[in-house]
Amino acid sequence: MKQVSASIISNSEVMPGVYLIWLESPQVASEAKPGQFVMVRCGEGSEHLLRRPFSIHRLDNNKLALLFTVVGKGTHWLAQCRAGNNMDLLGPLGNGYSIQPDWHNLLFLAGGIGIAPLCFLAEKALNQGCSVRLLLGASTATQLYPRHLLPAEAELIITTEDGTAGREGLITDFLPDFVGWADQIFACGPTLMYHTMAAQSQQLLKVKSVQISLEVRMGCGLGVCYGCTVKTKNGLKQVCKDGPIFDLDDFTGEELAYNY
């Protein structure tokens, strides 16, 4: 983990309100694992005291990409950053997803902006010779992550809640169709998605390894402030240090209702 000043290579709006930033940072890129995140300082001075956590979206040699939705003042500031500007990063942080070496069929569930850490993981899995099926869900067609930015070798199944693209419904509605194929499942999305998956786990997911990525407000990103503590079936965990990747089996979802 390093604190670095990374140079912005590009910053573009890839879908309404969602930005993709490419940064040059050999120090962070050389250590990064899929599922890990960086803490980004947003703005100068003391207006925004807390860094914002973002999953590492993709990796390309010395470069890394972040994908984020503009939700508040910090991300609004970030959306205004231009190529050539520098960004103060702390990372890579957290544990990351782990692919079992002898498991071949990997099912990915990306709910909305939940595609952020899964692109990096899919690229790694495909490089290792795994077979990847990606269930990509969004509320509506315009909020779907662009097809041309996804790894071409991944088999894509699109769902939208309003049926404007792909299958109509939530991605978890279609999980039963694919669960028999999968050796391992990786998910990132809203807390409600994990609740639905946990409710299905008795019938569907029991024999599978299912890893999910939790999102909670963070203070430090290093396990210092205890701001992101959540209850799991294995006791209290700090999302920044013990996570953000957890087994679905450990997920209780307690206290995280606010995050819907």
Contact footprint for another protein (CB under 8 A):
1, 3, 41, 46-51, 88, 90, 216-220, 222-230, 236, 255-256, 258
- Cβ partners under 8 Å of residue 157, min gap 6: 133, 134, 135, 136, 166, 167, 174, 178
Residue 250: φ, ψ to 5°: -85, -10
In angstroms, the CA 160 to CA 137 distance is 6
CB of 4 to another protein, least distance (A): 11
CB of 99 to another protein, least distance (A): 28
Nearer to another protein, 41 or 63 (CB): 41
What letter would DSSP give residue 253?
-
Nearer to another protein, 33 or 48 (CB): 48
CB of 168 to another protein, least distance (A): 27
Nearer to another protein, 209 or 229 (CB): 229
CB of 56 to another protein, least distance (A): 19
Nearer to another protein, 48 or 195 (CB): 48
Nearer to another protein, 88 or 173 (CB): 88
The answer to whether the CB of 191 falls within 8 A of the CB of 213 is no
Strands (E), 61-181: 63-69, 86-93, 105-111, 131-138, 155-160, 167-168
CB of 227 to another protein, least distance (A): 4
In angstroms, the CA 210 to CA 97 distance is 10
